[in-house]
Amino acid sequence: MISRVLLFILFCALPAAALERFDFSAPLMFTTFRISVHAETKAQAEAAADAAFKRIAALNAVCSDYEPNSELMQLCNTGPSKPFKASADLFYIVSRALELSRLTEGAFDITCGNLSHLWRRTKRTHKLPPADRLQQALAATDWHAVQLDAKARTITLLKPGMLLDLGGIAKGYAADAGLRVLREHGLTRALVMAGGDIAIGDPPPGTDAWDIKLRQFASANAEEDLVTVRLHHCAVSTSGDLYQFTEIEGKRYSHIVSPFTGLGLTERIACSVIAPDCTTSDALATAMCVLGKERGEKAAAQVKGVTTRFADQAR
């Protein structure tokens, strides 16, 4: 559910030092993951980046709702009220998602899988979902109906026909995981970018932060519409409908689906969230768009280390 918002990374010139910057990319999770890392040798950087990409690919097999044999789909196919023994990754993602659902009062809700499927069809056909199917999908959307057992590490879906969609949190979690792998290889001066989600480690050599430029969407000229934030040891995610939307009967609908209505958002909105980790920033960036500026800022203020940057009204 995260839009492909333009984020630009500016790298300061490296001083004469032993570390050199290396950049890698790979198509994963229906986006492009990019790794920038400072290492002593190209071989060292390549080995670490390869391990990080393999970790991210493995997470796709856990989280995808497009892959029929993914762990997520196995959970959804288990049936109502039947405990599913989950991997550590899936259990953590679902646990964290439910925490954020409570925080946002359901604006972020991974049980919206039926709504997501309906909206994908809407974008293909340019026709709104039939009212009866929309109501059925809304009835199956209820984060309260997901039961966790931490001791047994099981997940139980309590309502018939529930489908989970981790699209609003999985890429952020994968970026965090990729950055962790780089650290395990001894490379801490790095960042991992997954579309509009960036997990940020130690700053480049000779600097105290990464310079990250965010599009503000107040001007049609992208080069004149940037704000710089200097970040390290945190994450930033941007979500909005500026580039991914559809028009139906003259009305503009975002690709971001509201769990409350089952339809794409109609208000033009974009928000960047800075958080201690990318799992949190990814999920909250989506929720901020659903909640809107006033309610979103109030919810975000409850999370330590989180700041929000709502874009001005897009033109």
DSSP 101-121: HHHTTTSS-TT-HHHHHHHHH
Amino acid 5: pLDDT: 43
Walk along the chain (315 residues) in steps of 10 and give the mean pLDDT of each run.
43 58 96 97 98 98 94 96 98 98 97 94 90 96 97 97 96 98 98 95 95 70 69 93 76 90 89 96 96 94 93 53
What is residue 4's DSSP assignment? Answer: -
- How far apart CA 195 and CA 98 sit, in angstroms, is 24
Amino acid 242: pLDDT: 64
Alpha helices in 149-277 (DSSP H): 170-184
- How far apart CA 113 and CA 234 sit, in angstroms, is 29
Amino acid 282: pLDDT: 97
Amino acid 217: pLDDT: 61
Residue from 134, 124, 169, 140 nearest 263 by CA: 134
Amino acid 123: pLDDT: 86
Task: Say how many C-beta atoms besides its own lie within 10 A of residue 239's C-beta.
Answer: 31
- How far apart CA 238 and CA 129 sit, in angstroms, is 28
Residue type, 22: F
41's CB contacts (< 8 A; 6+ apart) are none
For CA atoms 214, 215, 216, 219, give the dihedral sign.
positive
Beta bridge partners of 270: 240
User: Could you give the count of Cα atoms lying within 13 Å of 262 in the half-sphere of its Cβ?
Assistant: 22
Beta bridge partners of 210: 231
Cα separations (Å) of 66 from 3, 91, 166, 244? Answer: 18, 19, 11, 19
Task: Say how many C-beta atoms besides its own lie within 10 A of residue 145's C-beta.
Answer: 16
Amino acid 245: pLDDT: 77
Residue from 3, 1, 5, 8 nearest 191 by CA: 8
Cα separations (Å) of 81 from 94, 153, 265? Answer: 16, 15, 32
- How far apart CA 277 and CA 269 sit, in angstroms, is 23
Domains of the chain: 71-157 (1.10.3980.10)
User: pTM here?
Assistant: 0.90
